[in-house]
Amino acid sequence: MLSMRFNESRELLKTEKSIHPDNLIPLFIENYEDFLRCAFNEDKEEFNRLYVHKEERQDLLSEGNEQSPYYRYCKAQIALHWALINLKFENHTAAFFDIRKAYNLLTENKKLYPDFKPTLISLGFLHAIIGTIPETYKWAVNLLGFHGTITEGKQEILQAITYGEKNHFVFLNEARYMYIILQLIVLNDKSGAYQTVSHPGFPSHYGNALSCFTKAYVALKNYKNDEAIRYFTYNIFNNKSFILYNYYMLGMCQLNKLNTDARYNLKYFSDHFKGVNYLKDARHRIAWCALINGDQTAYLDNLISILKHGNTLSDSDKSAQKIAERKIIPHAGLLKARLLMDGGYLTDAMFVLNSIPSKELSTTAMQTEYSYRKGRIFHLQGKNDEAILQYMMSIEKGKNMNEYFAANAAMELGTIYEGKKDYTKAATYYRMSLNMPESDFKNSIDIRSKAGLQRVSK
């Protein structure tokens, strides 16, 4: 099922149910298909059609053996799956109750069956997420009965992985996927996530759409753009993956090489995706293709379409909406440098920045971005002293502006000093980032800064 070969999985489950009609585990496994479809498709009609299975499965699982460690575990997993989907569809109340249900069931299961390793995977994930909540809100979380730290959650998932690498453990790959999410979102450990997907035991991308997508996404996050292109392309043409995000991400990667043919994959995603997330960003990137080609009129025309589609839940969609509303035309050189840097083409990106005449950087926003981009490139090249200087310049120029450059510069300074084990300075910059004015990408920057502050304050 985790390979997303759903037809094959259904046939196997059908056979199992015919041979062992009293076995309730197929209900638990079937829920993975609903979860993965809703998570990637974001199709409201599909969600409404599949959501009815949730209570049906929970009711049937309630008839199982309460003395089995799988009893509470399976019920918790189904609750957690639908909690995450409800969050995606902004059904926050339903999500909260399912998260609380999952947390309580998993906590009880760990007490009753401390050696049952599958519990550690999802409970560890929840503990780590709880650990990112700032101290000022911990009282509310504790009042609700939620407890956990980042370190606790990380150790629990790693314990499950370590066990799985030494024993037959059908949940090993799920533990690895969960750990990758933790590495990227909470631990800010992109290189660690790349090591996880590069492990010899990680599922092959051949015939496995989820593994292929994960490897591609992690490669992109590690500035390995060409590798990401290969994986996304393979997923579309060889794995025949239904995940339309493959087209969006492939278009993004192509644009990182300044290949404006990216617009075709971005448009395919925009025209066929039935969800609402990243539609504005996709159209924004189509507009960038026009600008890179020197067609400012087409750029402005494409901005209009941004206003008609999608929502502003994600930071990138919020940014696209703001730019479309204000008809902002970015400096072409800064845009090219940004894209090249995102792809890991650092030498090319620095060449573009150094080629921009200083007189063209006529606004404080441009100057702030220029310093920030240089800082990021130096940082990625391991030249931390040069990076610190550029980040400081970006903060000084942009600390009172509603742009994300200064906030991200402060957050990145936090990571540099955390790496140096200067936790006092790291905490100072993480707090500085959190206290910056509202801006594009503030939510994602804050998540990383809060997680960083938690790590260095332990």
Q: Does residue 37 sit within a domain?
A: yes
Buried b (16+ CB within 10 A) or exposed e, 60-83: ebeebeeeebbbbbbbbbbbbbbb
CB 399 within 8 Å of CB 381: no
Q: Does residue 457 sit within a domain?
A: yes
Q: Return the pLDDT at 147.
A: 92
pLDDT mean over 128-149 = 81
- Model's pTM, two decimal places? 0.93
Domain that includes residue 283, residue range: 245-329
Per-residue CA distances from 440 to 335, 376, 429, 451 (Å): 16, 17, 19, 19
| 100 Cβ contact list (under 8 Å, min separation 6) | 144, 145, 146
Banded pLDDT at 143 (limits 50, 70, 90): confident
**Residue where a domain terminates, one of 211, 244, 277:** 244
Does 228 lie in the same domain as 94?
yes
Of 210, 206, 257, 199, residue with least CA distance to 229: 257
Res 3 pLDDT > 70: yes
Distance CA 149, CA 126 (A): 9
Does 179 lie in the same domain as 324?
no
Does 257 lie in the same domain as 219?
no
Res 139 pLDDT > 80: no
Q: Give the chain's mean pLDDT.
A: 95
Res 384 pLDDT > 70: yes
Of 297 and 142, the structure prediction assigns the larger pLDDT to 297
* CATH number (domain holding residue 159): 1.25.40.10
CB 416 within 8 Å of CB 388: yes
pLDDT digits (tens, 9 = 90+) for 199-218: 999 999 999 999 999 999 99
Q: Does residue 1 sit within a domain?
A: no
Q: Does residue 416 sit within a domain?
A: yes
Q: Return the pLDDT at 141.
A: 81
Which range is least confidently modeled, 97-106, 125-134, 165-174, 313-322?
Answer: 125-134
Instruction: State which amino acid sits at residue 441.
Output: F
**Residue where a domain terminates, one of 285, 312, 329:** 329
Per DSSP, the three-state class of 94 is: helix
Does 135 lie in the same domain as 163?
yes
Does 20 lie in the same domain as 157?
yes
226-230: long-range contacts at Cβ-Cβ below 8 A with a sequence spacing of 24 or more? 228/253, 229/253, 229/254
Q: Return the pLDDT at 381.
A: 97
Does 360 lie in the same domain as 284?
no
CB 101 within 8 Å of CB 123: no
pLDDT mean over 162-180 = 98
Q: Does residue 345 sit within a domain?
A: yes
CB 191 within 8 Å of CB 419: no
Does 373 lie in the same domain as 320?
no
Of 451, 453, 418, 416, residue with least CA distance to 432: 453
Per-residue CA distances from 53 to 30, 56, 138, 180, 309 (Å): 10, 5, 34, 28, 30
Q: How many residues does the chain have?
A: 458
| 8 Cβ contact list (under 8 Å, min separation 6) | none
pLDDT digits (tens, 9 = 90+) for 5-61: 999 999 999 999 999 999 999 999 999 999 999 999 999 999 999 999 999 999 999
Q: Return the pLDDT at 133.
A: 78
Does 56 lie in the same domain as 28?
yes
pLDDT digits (tens, 9 = 90+) for 248-264: 999 999 999 999 999 99
Q: Does residue 282 sit within a domain?
A: yes
pLDDT mean over 301-306 = 96
Q: Which residue stretches of 186-275 are H helix?
A: 190-198, 209-221, 225-237, 245-256, 262-272
**Residue where a domain terminates, one of 277, 302, 329:** 329
State the total domains in the chain: 3
Does 357 lie in the same domain as 279?
no
Does 166 lie in the same domain as 46?
yes
Q: Does residue 256 sit within a domain?
A: yes
Q: Tokens at residue 438, please?
A: 């509202």
Does 228 lie in the same domain as 85?
yes
Terminal Cα-to-Cα distance of the chain (whole angstroms): 38
Does 286 lie in the same domain as 365?
no
Distance CA 156, CA 128 (A): 9
Q: Return the pLDDT at 135.
A: 67
